[in-house]
Structure 1
Amino acid sequence: MIFTVTFNPSLDYIIGLDTFQEGAVNRSQWEHIFPGGKGINVSMVLKNLGVRNVALGFLGGFTGKEIQRMVNDFGCYTDFVKIKSGISRINVKIKSDKESEINGQGPSITKKEIKELFEKLDLIKSQDILVLAGSIPGTLPENTYENIMKHLEDRKIKIVVDATGELLLKVVKYKPFLIKPNKQELSEIFGVTVKNREDVILYAKRLQEIGAKNVLVSMAGEGAILIDENDNIHEMKAPTGLVKNSVGAGDSMVAGFIAGYLLNNDFEEAFRMGVATGSASAFSENLATQTEVLELLSILPKKEK
C-alpha cells in the first residue's frame, strides 16, 4: 500500500481575469476550487494511474471538510487527523497578465493531534511506500520529517521525500528510498549555481553519499535525471508540448515514478513513467490522467538494454 502525508492541505481558489489592477475592484472571468497540497496531488495522480493509496495529514473546520469531500469524490481513500481548533488554509491564486498567490498560514496543530498521526503511521507495513511531501507549517516542529523517519527507521518502509532546502537535507541521513529536488533546489542546498547536467549529476551523487538511495532531479523544460541506487544514470529530455499548468507537475512526476516502479521494480521504467506523468500534468489544465500519460509514454525513447 502507498500512503501520502500532507501536513498543511488547502483549498486552492484559482481566479482568472484579463488584467489585475492593484487597489481597485477586479471581477473574475472564471474561477476554480481544488483541493491542494503536494501529498494530496500525489494521491490524486496515483488514483488516475490506477494505483490504490491512502492520503494522510491534518484537516480542520469547514475548509477541511470540503477538502476531504473533494478528495473522496475524486475516488481517493483518506484517513486524515481532524484537528479541533482552526481551519485548513485557503490559498488564492490569481491568473492574469501576471500570476500572483496569497497562501494561508494553516491551523495550529496540538501534540495530541501529532501523536494521532504517528499512530496512523504505525499501521504502515514493511515494503509499503510512504510519501512525505511539501513544507512543514509553522505550527509544527521543524524536525517533524526527521521525527517521522527516525520513528519508522527500522521497518523497511520505502519513504519518498519531496521537500526543499534544509528540510530535505536533514532527512537524507535516514536513507529515503527516493528524493526529488529540482535544479534550483540543488543550487540552494549546496550554495552553488547548478548550471548543466554535469553539475546536476555531481550534486545528486553527493546527496546519495549522504544517504539518499535514489535521486530524481526535475529540470522543467530540460527534462530530468535519475541517479538510481545501483549508480546508473538515467537521462531524458522533456517531451514537446504547450505548458498550461506548472502546479502539480513535480508531484505528478513523483506519482508517476512510484506507479512505474510498482510494475516490476525497474528504475528505468519508473523514470520514464515519472517524466511522462509530470509532463502530462504540465500540458493539462488539471492533474494528469492515465490516457494523457500513456500517450506521452508511447513517444518517449526507451533505453537500450
Structure 2
Amino acid sequence: MAKLLALTVLGLLLAFLGERFLTLRHQMNIFRQVDPVEPQSCYLIQGLENGSEDIDILPSGLAFLSTGLKYPGMPNLAPDKPGEIFLMDLNEDKPKALALSIRNRFDVQSFNPHGISAFIDKDNTVYLYVVNHPHKKSTVEIFQFEGDSLIHLKTITHELLSSPGEVKEVASGLGFANGITISPDKKYIYVAAVTSHNIHVMRRHDNWNLTQEKVLHLGTLVDNLSVDPATGDVWAGCHPNGMKLLLYDPADPPGSEVLRIQNILSQKPTVTVVYANNGSILQGSTVAAVYNQKMLVGTVFHRTLYCDL
C-alpha cells in the first residue's frame, strides 16, 4: 500500500512538473530559433554598448534612448557604470549618440533608467518621463529637455507610482503587461503582454476606462511598442527566445526580432518581420522606433542598431 501511495505521489509530481515545463516552454519560447532578416543598410551605433532599453522619438526626429539598465535576473555588461539618457538627431545622414548631462541636484550615480516617454506641451517645451530603479526601488523622474542637457524637475515615489489624484485599475488579466503606447488619434491603447506573446488593443474612453477590442497573437515575447505617427503602424521589439535572455550564455546569446504591424485595427493586420538576428549582431532587442524611413532598435544590455528602411 505504501509503495502504491509513493508511486501515486511520484506520478502526480511528475505530471505537475510536466505541466509547468510545458507552460514555461510556451511562455519563454525555449526552443525557438529565428531566420535572419536584415534591411540593406544597418550598422551599430558607437557609444551605445550598454543597452538602450527604451527609445522615444519626437516629431522633429530627435530620439531619446535610456541606457545602462540594471534589472534583477538580466545580464549587465557594465555593472559599475550609472545609467544615462542619450540623444540622437535622425535628420543627420549618419546620426551619432550624445550623452545628455543631468542638472539640478540629481543623483546620477544611482540612475538606473528603464522606460521613457516624451511629452511636448503647448509652448513646445519637451519633458521626459523616465522610469528609474535607484537602489532596487522604483520611481518616475521628470526632466525638462534643454539643449544638450536634462533639468531634473521632480521625483515621483509612490506604491502605485502616481502623482496626487485618482488611481484606478483600467485593465486586468494581461500576461506581464509591459510596453504601452497610444494610436495617433488617441482613441486606442496598445499593450504588449510579454509572456502571452500578445498585443492587446483597447479602446480609450473619455474617463480613461479601457475596453478590449481585440488581441493579436504574435508567437514571440513582445517587449516595448512604438507607433509611427505618419502611418499608424505599430513597431515591436521582441525576444524570440526568452530563456536565452534569462540564462545568458555568450556562446549562445539571445536573439533579436522586430515586427511591424500594419492596419492593426483591421480584421487581418499585416505582420512583417523587419529584422531578425540570432544574437551574433544584436542581443535581447526590446524596442524599435522609426522616423522618416529610419529605424532604431534598442536592447536590454547590448548594442543599438540603426537601419535605413
Is TM > 0.5 for Structure 1 vs Structure 2?
A: no
Which has the larger share of helix? 1
TM value normalised by structure 2: 0.34
TM value normalised by structure 1: 0.34
Which has the larger share of strand? 2
Give the greater-gyration-radius structure (CA). Answer: 2
